[in-house]
Amino acid sequence: MVIGEDSGLCVYSLDGEPGIYSARYAGEHGNNEKNRSKLQKELIGKDRKAYFNCVVAVMYPNGEYNFFSGKTYGLISKEELGNKDFGYDCIFYSEELGKTFGEATEEEKNSVSHRGRAIKELLKNIRF
């Protein structure tokens, strides 16, 4: 069995960008500061509604496969709040938490995260 996942930040007013290119949105892979800066520039005067999306794929030895997804919804804040070490967390304001992921504890973030939701679906449905 093989399991893989990918996730990204999707902004409605940007037709889903940065999406799967979230980690390299500004060109250089993993430059969080540049990625956030580019996103903020792209959002000037636009709606800031967004969501994180995660898809987990599982491929079984017999060739069958399944996909499981998870989403969490929010807004892109105009200022960076909280921990700035990981991706877009400091500018993703979670509707469910009432704060940015950067301000949330690990437990709070995991309770509503897109990855957590996708993994829960995988664990409910995986066949061994």
CB 105 within 8 A of CB 82: no
Say which residue the tokens 């921990």 belong to.
Answer: 83
Taking only the tens place, the pLDDT of each residue in 10-47 is 999 999 999 999 999 999 999 999 999 999 999 999 99
Active site residues: 6
Q: Which domains does the chain have, with CATH numbers?
A: 2-125 (3.90.950.10)
CB 25 within 8 A of CB 91: no
pTM given for the model: 0.93
